[in-house]
Amino acid sequence: MIQLRSVSKNYSGNTSVLDQISLELKKGDFLYVLGGSGAGKSSLLRMLATEEAPSSGTLALFGYALSQMTPATLQAIRRSLGYIPQNVRLLPDLSVEDNVALSLAVASTRALGNDARARIHDLLDKLGLSAMRSKPAGGLSGGEAQRVAIARALVRKPELIIADEPTGSQDKEFTWSVMDLLLRANLTGTTVVIATHDREIVQRVRKRCAVLRSGRLTFEEGAFCTF
Amino acid sequence: MHLLKLGLRPWKLAFYSQALSSLVVAVLLLMIALFVWFDRGLGPLISRMRTEQVITAYLLPYDGPMDESAPVASAAAATTLILEKAQVAVGIAGVIRLIGPTEFLEELRRKEYATLASELEEMGSELTSIVPRYLSIEGSFDEQALERVREIPGVESAESSRNRFAAVVGAFASIRWVNRALILGLFLALATGLVHLGRINTQIHEEPLRLLRQWGANGLLMSIPPLVSGASVGVLGGALAAGLWLSIGMQFARQLKGLSPIFVNLPNPHASTALVLAIIGLAIGVVSTLFHSTARSPVRT
Q: Write phi, then psi, for A70 (nearest 5 degrees).
A: -80, 160
Q: What is the ipTM of this complex?
A: 0.85
pLDDT band at B249, cuts 50/70/90?
A: very high
> What integer is the mean pLDDT of A213-222?
70
SS3 A131: helix
C-alpha separations of B47 from A174, B37, B43 in Å? 83, 16, 6
SS3 A73: helix
Q: Which has the minimum average pLDDT: A141-150, A161-170, A201-210, B285-294?
A: B285-294
Instruction: Give contacts of A74 with chain B, Cβ < 8 Å.
Output: 216, 299-301
Residue span(s) of chain B under CATH 3.30.70 come to: 52-163
Has residue B276 got a pLDDT over 90?
A: yes
User: What CATH number was assigned to the domain covering residues B52-163?
Assistant: 3.30.70
Query: What's the CA dihedral at B75, B80, B81, B84 to 10 degrees?
Result: 160
> What integer is the mean pLDDT of B96-111?
83
Taking Cα atoms as reference points, which of A43, A88, A103, A107 lies closest to residue A178?
A88
Predicted pLDDT of residue B298: 45
Nearest residue in B to A109, CA atom: B1
Mean pLDDT of chain A: 85
Q: Are B221 and A106 a contacting pair at CB < 8 A? A: yes
Is the minimum CB–CB distance between A53 and chain B shorter than 8 Å?
A: yes
The whole-model pTM stands at 0.71
Interface of B with A (CB under 8 A): 1-3, 5-6, 9, 12-13, 207-208, 210-218, 221, 224, 297-301
> What integer is the mean pLDDT of B279-283?
91
Instruction: Give contacts of B208 with chain A, Cβ < 8 Å.
Output: 91, 102
Q: Are A42 and A54 in contact (CB under 8 A)?
A: no
pLDDT digits (tens, 9 = 90+) for B224-238: 888 888 889 999 999
Q: Are A79 and B2 a contacting pair at CB < 8 A? A: no
pLDDT band at B247, cuts 50/70/90?
A: very high
Nearest residue in B to A99, CA atom: B2
User: Which range scores top for mean pLDDT: A118-127, B26-35, B190-199, B204-213?
Assistant: B26-35
pLDDT digits (tens, 9 = 90+) for A69-100: 888 899 889 989 999 998 888 999 999 999 99
pLDDT digits (tens, 9 = 90+) for A101-121: 988 878 665 667 788 888 899
> Mind spelling out the 3-state secondary structure of chain B?
CHHHHHHCHHHHHCHHHHHHHHHHHHHHHHHHHHHHHHHHHHHHHHHHHHHEEEEEEEECCCCCCCCCCCCCCCHHHHHHHHHHHHHHHHCCCCEEEEECHHHHHHHHHHCCCHHHHHHHHCCHHHHHHHCCCEEEEEEECCCCHHHHHHCCCCEEEEEECHHHHHHHHHHHHHHHHHHHHHHHHHHHHHHHHHHHHHHHHHHHHHHHHHHHHHCCCCHHHHHHHHHHHHHHHHHHHHHHHHHHHHHHHHHHHHHHHHCCHHHHHCCCCCCHHHHHHHHHHHHHHHHHHHHCCCCCCCCCC
Q: Are A105 and B3 a contacting pair at CB < 8 A? A: yes
Instruction: Give contacts of B9 with chain A, Cβ < 8 Å.
Output: 91, 93-94
Predicted pLDDT of residue B221: 84
Has residue B62 got a pLDDT over 70?
A: no
> What integer is the mean pLDDT of A208-224?
72
Instruction: Give contacts of A49 with chain B, Cβ < 8 Å.
Output: 214
Instruction: Give contacts of A77 with chain B, Cβ < 8 Å.
Output: 216
Q: Report CA torsion sign: A163, A167, A170, A175.
A: positive
Q: Are A50 and B221 a contacting pair at CB < 8 A? A: no
Predicted pLDDT of residue B296: 45
Q: Are A93 and B12 a contacting pair at CB < 8 A? A: yes
For residue A96, the distance in angstroms to the closest alpha carbon of chain B comes to: 13
Q: Which has the minimum average pLDDT: A118-132, A154-168, B159-173?
A: B159-173
